[in-house]
Amino acid sequence: MATDHTHEHDHPIDWREHGVKVIPGDSLDPNTAQTPGMNRAAAIDRARAGAEKIWAGTVTIHANAKTGAHHHGDLESIIYVVKGRARMRWGERLEYVAEAGPGDFIFVPPYVPHQEINANADETLECVVVRSGQEPIVVNLDIDPVEKPEGVAWIDPIHR
């Protein structure tokens, strides 16, 4: 049984205009907040897709490169590794480290100082990023890297 969905003023919704959007991978927008050492490109945001609560795009880090330390304010971030090996460093002095490979998800909570590192010397790191808000918040930080980061193998509470 079909339902006639309407907005709060009883006008039918134009699903052609306000429905599903497909953003081709070759038309992402690089005009977004950047961090030294990586290239971000927006796929889903308010301007391109009408999204109100999330932002999604791609991140590419060249072989053997690392980003500057930064955080994303009160936004939560999810990074999905498509290709390559990501080394994440985080903490007040970037003293913690963990790695992720293709198919792995990385969660970065609000305000966490972090750094993305391409752990491969000869392969580009390609990731998809999703954030919990529309603002392109990138706070670049002046943190001296630590020489011996502490390895952290995180195991979620469900799979201990």
Question: What's the rounded mean pLDDT across residues 35-60?
Answer: 88
Distance (Å, whole) CA 98 – CA 96: 7
In this predicted structure, the answer to whether residue 139 has a pLDDT above a threshold of 60 is yes
Q: 60-113, pLDDT tens digit by residue? A: 988 888 888 889 999 999 999 999 999 999 999 999 999 999 999 999 999 999
Q: How far is CA 114 from the centre of its chain?
A: 12
* Cα 80 to Cα 116: distance, rounded to the nearest angstrom: 13
pLDDT given at position 25: 86
pLDDT reported for residue 149 = 46
- Do residues 80 and 52 make contact, with C-beta atoms less than 8 angstroms apart? no
The helix (run of H) or strand (run of E) holding residue 98 is strand 96-100
d(CA 92, CA 55): 26
Mean pLDDT across the chain, nearest whole number? 84
Ordered structural domains, the chain, with CATH = 29-150 (2.60.120.10)
User: What's the burial of 29, exposed, middle or buried (CB within 10 Å: 0-12/13-18/19+)?
Assistant: middle
Residue 151 above 90 pLDDT?
Answer: no
pTM for this one? 0.80
Decide if pLDDT at 15 tops 60: yes
In sequence order, what DSSP letters do the residues of 102-135 get, joined into one string?
TT-EEEE-TT--EEEEE--SSS-EEEEEEESSSS
